[in-house]
Every structure is written in C-alpha cells, then in structure tokens.
C-alpha cells in the first residue's frame, strides 16, 4: 500500500510541478525561445537528470526510512536524516528546482525560469511557515538537533553531514 501511495503522490505533486505546468508554459506563444533540437539545449538534460535522481532518492528514503510519502497529508512517521538528508534538509525541493531550471535551459524559456523562481519562493515560505513548525512539534528534540546540524538550503560538504553517532542518538526515530 505504501508503494501505491508513493507512486500516486509522486505523479500528482512533482509530476504536476515539473511536467504539467512546464508543458503549459512552453506551449504558450511566449514560453519557449528554442526547440529542444538545438544542440545547446541538450545541456539542460543534465540538471533535469540530476534533479530527477535526487527526487527519486528522496522519495525512496521517505518510503523506506520514514515509512511515508512526500505528500503533506501522508508524511513520513519517522524523521529521515539518511541519504541526501544528511547534507541538506530539503533535497527534494532542490531536486525539483534543478529539474525546473534544466527545463528552462532546455527550452530557452525565461517564463520557465520565472516559474522556477516562483516555485522556490513559494516552497521557502511553505517550509518556514508550515513544514518546519510541524516537524518541530512532531519530532521535538531530534528535529532541533537536526536543524542545528544540517542547513535548510545550502548543502554541507559531502564529508560532513550527519553521521552514525547522531542517528544512534535518536534522530531517525
């Protein structure tokens, strides 16, 4: 059942944000500056691929470690501090932002770039005003320790992050 919920919410949420809305934007008369057939445009696939890999890794961690989904209505029941979450608190949103900026490059679309900026602004407000307070209430001291150790948007060095000791002290509960 968890697998089906994750598939559903993955298609619904990031699918809408990274596929449906960008399709509407680039299909408009002012949405795209070039077609993806232009040789330079194919470089946009690099951030799209990287962002998709980040997104799917985070969804996997939410399901396996957190026993939940990416949807706020069906969140993980355990605090996830493994994988990419050891380095940055919001890698899933950063993955989606990477996909959107790659799509903006792929289609040379300033409208998509503006959409990506709007997405980030909206997500930042959501994280600060809803998500972080909800996580503080739900996970208490474990989340407070996580906040002190891992940055919200700027990843720590790959040699940094949360190690096994922090996880053993209850941060993954």
H-type alpha helices, 16-109: 21-27, 45-64, 91-106
Position 37 scores a pLDDT of 66
Percentage of the residues of the chain whose pLDDT score is greater than 90: 64
Q: Domains plus CATH for the chain?
A: 2-171 (1.20.120.1630)
Position 33 scores a pLDDT of 59
Note the pLDDT tens digit of each residue in 71-106.
888 889 999 999 999 999 999 999 999 999 999 999
Inform me whether the pLDDT recorded for 46 exceeds 60.
yes
Distance CA 81, CA 162 (A): 7
Q: Is residue 5 classed as helix, strand or coil in its secondary structure?
A: helix
Inform me whether the pLDDT recorded for 62 exceeds 50.
yes
Q: Is residue 173 classed as helix, strand or coil in its secondary structure?
A: coil
Per-residue confidence band for 57, with pLDDT thresholds at 50, 70 and 90: very high
Note the pLDDT tens digit of each residue in 98-148.
999 999 999 889 999 999 999 999 999 999 999 999 999 999 999 999 999
Distance CA 97, CA 60 (A): 18
The model's pTM is 0.84
Q: Is residue 162 classed as helix, strand or coil in its secondary structure?
A: coil
The position carrying tokens 């990843």 is: 155
Position 73 scores a pLDDT of 86
Distance CA 147, CA 79 (A): 12
Per-residue confidence band for 173, with pLDDT thresholds at 50, 70 and 90: very low
Per-residue confidence band for 8, with pLDDT thresholds at 50, 70 and 90: confident
| Average pLDDT rounded to a whole number, residues 40-48 | 91
More confident residue, 157 or 22: 22
């Amino acid at each position: 059942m968890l697998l089906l919920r994750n598939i559903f919410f993955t298609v619904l949420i990031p699918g809408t944000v990274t596929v449906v809305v960008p399709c509407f934007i680039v299909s408009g008369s002012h949405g795209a500056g070039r077609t993806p057939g232009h040789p330079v445009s194919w470089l946009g696939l690099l951030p799209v691929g990287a962002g998709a890999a980040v997104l799917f890794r985070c969804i996997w961690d939410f399901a396996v470690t957190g026993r939940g989904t990416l949807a706020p209505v069906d969140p993980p029941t355990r605090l996830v501090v493994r994988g990419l979450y050891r380095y940055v608190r919001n890698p899933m949103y950063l993955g989606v932002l990477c996909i959107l900026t790659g799509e903006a490059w792929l289609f040379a679309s300033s409208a998509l770039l503006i959409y990506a900026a709007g997405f980030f602004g909206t997500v930042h407000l959501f994280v600060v005003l809803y998500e972080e307070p909800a996580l503080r209430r739900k996970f208490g001291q474990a989340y407070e320790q996580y906040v002190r150790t891992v940055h919200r948007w700027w990843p720590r060095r790959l040699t940094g992050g949360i190690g096994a000791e922090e996880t053993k002290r209850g941060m993954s509960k």
